[in-house]
Amino acid sequence: MHLPLWSFHRNPPMPHRVVVGMGLALTAMFLNGVGHAQTYVKIDPQGQPHWASHPTGPDYQFTQIGAIKPPVSNPGTEAKRDQPLAQQRALIEAQAVRPLVEHISQRHGMDPALVLALIDVESSFNPRAVSPKGARGLMQLMPDTARAYGMRDPRELHIPEKNLDFGIRHLKDLLQAHNNNWALTLAAYNAGRNAVQRHGMRIPAYNETLIYVPSVLARVDRHRVRPSQPD
């Protein structure tokens, strides 16, 4: 399929609604049922990422925008997720956790759609997810991060209520630290607050982070609408 030439340029700070709109322009056309988007990215001398559908210069490198599948403790889990029964289970898990996300997000003054989009990318709503680095649960929190919010036992991170409370408070702190800039907040959540600071309060030039930020943003509006119940 031939795609029209487009580009996306992040120049923080921006209002989060503008950032979401730009993220959607970059990714939504590819993420609604058509899988991954092939795209190109370059980092300019100021450390800002530029995306394009076709390489417009020698500095552009190939990457992909799409669903980021979370690493889990059981390698067979991801294969099962691709099966129809497991996909239905994932949808049921998403619907089951949504009221909790809405309740805890509202308690902490956060947008539930942003939290749901982040969980979608981080764990596909799997509360049992564990990454090789030790990030756990719905919001893929590291135990050291969660301890700052009152976690006493890493097993608590597999309890949805606790994982959401720790994770949403952490996300809120990052949002406040980055002047309510959603893109920088998500970059800090993925790569770490220090990484954003080291890059001059810009999105770090890490391939995973360059994929992660627009992938979350592209899902925000999708999660503002309640999904229909599975048959």
For residue range 99-112, list pLDDT tens digits in order: 999 999 999 999 99
Query: Strands, DSSP E only, in 44-167?
Result: 49-52, 61-65
Position 10 scores a pLDDT of 38
> What's the average model confidence in pLDDT over 112-141?
95
Identity at 216, one-letter amino acid code: V
> What's the average model confidence in pLDDT over 155-167?
98
> What's the average model confidence in pLDDT over 184-198?
95
d(CA 220, CA 42): 25
Q: Which residue has the higher pLDDT, 44 or 214?
A: 214
Residues 6+ apart with CB under 8 A from 160: 97, 100, 127, 137, 138
Position 228 scores a pLDDT of 57
Position 31 scores a pLDDT of 39
- Letter string b/e over residues 209-230, b meaning 16 or more CB atoms within 10 A of that residue's CB: bbbbbbbbbbbbebbeeeeeee
Position 52 scores a pLDDT of 65
Q: Which of 122, 156, 161, 208 is catalytic?
A: 122
d(CA 135, CA 116): 17
CATH 1.10.530.10 is held by the domain 75-224: yes
Residue 136, classed as helix, strand or coil, is strand
Catalytic site includes residue 102: no
Mean pLDDT of the chain: 76
d(CA 151, CA 170): 12
CB atoms within 10 A of CB 19: 23
Percent of the chain residues past pLDDT 70, beyond the cut: 62
pTM: 0.68
Q: Could you state, in order of their start, the residue ranges of all structural domains in the chain?
A: 7-65, 75-224
